[in-house]
Each structure stands twice: as C-alpha cells, then as structure tokens.
Amino acid sequence: MKLIVAADRNWAIGKNNKLMWSIPADMKFFRETTQGNVVIMGRKTLESFPQGQPLKNRVNIVITRNPSYKVKDAVVVHSVEEAIEESRKYDGDVFVIGGESIYRAMLPYCDTALVTRIDYAYEADTWFPNLDEDEEWELTDEGEEQTCFDLEYTFTRYERK
C-alpha cells in the first residue's frame, strides 16, 4: 500500500479541512498517480472535495465511525482493518490520501510514501508524521525543485526500510 500527500516544511498538511496551497502540477501528479486505482480516505477528506463527491475514475473507500454514513459512488467502511480488507477486492494500487488521523492509522501498512514537499511553513492544524525523523523510512528519490509563483516544491519518494 502507498500513500500520497503534500506537506509543508514542518509536515503540515491542512487547516480548517482545506489545503493551504494550490499547486496545479501537484494536483496533476495526484490525479495521474491515483486514477484507475483505489483511494482510502477519511470522511472529512471526502467532504473537503468539490461538492463532497468521491474522486472520478477511482475506487473510493471512506473510513468513518458513523454507522449510518452513506455516500454515492463510494464504499463506506468503519475501521482501518475493514478498509484494508475492502481494498483487496480491487485491481490496481491502493493509495491512502488523508487526512491526518487516517494517514497516522494507515502508515504502518504502507511501504511507499509519495510526498510533495513544499518549502514554506504554513499556519496549520493538521500534520503528517515527519518521515525524516522516522528511522523506519528513508528518502529514496527527490525530484528537481520546481516553482509555482513564489512557492518552491519538490516531488519526493520515501520507502520503508
């Protein structure tokens, strides 16, 4: 299982259930990487999408504690274990796409992390675990630094040792 995330210099990933940046190349990378595959997310991440709708051309698995939660065109599950079991029913790669509590719960099951590192420190209320300080993970690929207006960012890949 893999995960995909964009994080700032301090591993911040959001504030008030929203991304704090808009980088078209990162959105394109996310779209192209996850299309045709399985994505696992929490309810709040789903609700942060336009009109709270699942992502097109993907199997959307949504984890929520709410037993009566339903959403059209998505599979709703109620635990990490149930999400993993459900993801095995489909072809393609499985990507964990957030938010913070889902990333933290699913990280032990992942072997690859695709991280867009943004060279700026935002004011945030949600963070991704710092993989640079986690001895189980190593940075295995770092792309060229890119710029979107005055924001510098890099596509990186971490792998479990």
pLDDT in tens, 29-63: 999 999 999 999 999 999 999 899 999 999 999 99
pLDDT score for 1:
98
SS (H, E, C) 15-83: ECCECCCCCHHHHHHHHHHHCCCEEEEEHHHHHHCHHHCCCCCCEEEEECCCCCCCCCCCEEECCHHHH
Can you tell me whether residue 161 is helix, strand or coil? coil
CA–CA distance, 13 with 25 (Å, rounded to integer): 17
DSSP-assigned beta bridge partners for residue 75: 61
pLDDT score for 69:
96
pLDDT score for 34:
98
Q: Indicate the residue type of 87.
A: S
Per-residue pLDDT band at 87 (split at 50, 70, 90): very high
| Architecture, CATH, for domain 2-160 | 3-Layer(aba) Sandwich (3.40)
pLDDT score for 23:
97
Per-residue pLDDT band at 125 (split at 50, 70, 90): very high
Find out whether 153 and 117 touch, Cβ atoms under 8 Å: yes
Percentage with pLDDT > 90 across the chain: 99
Per-residue pLDDT band at 88 (split at 50, 70, 90): very high
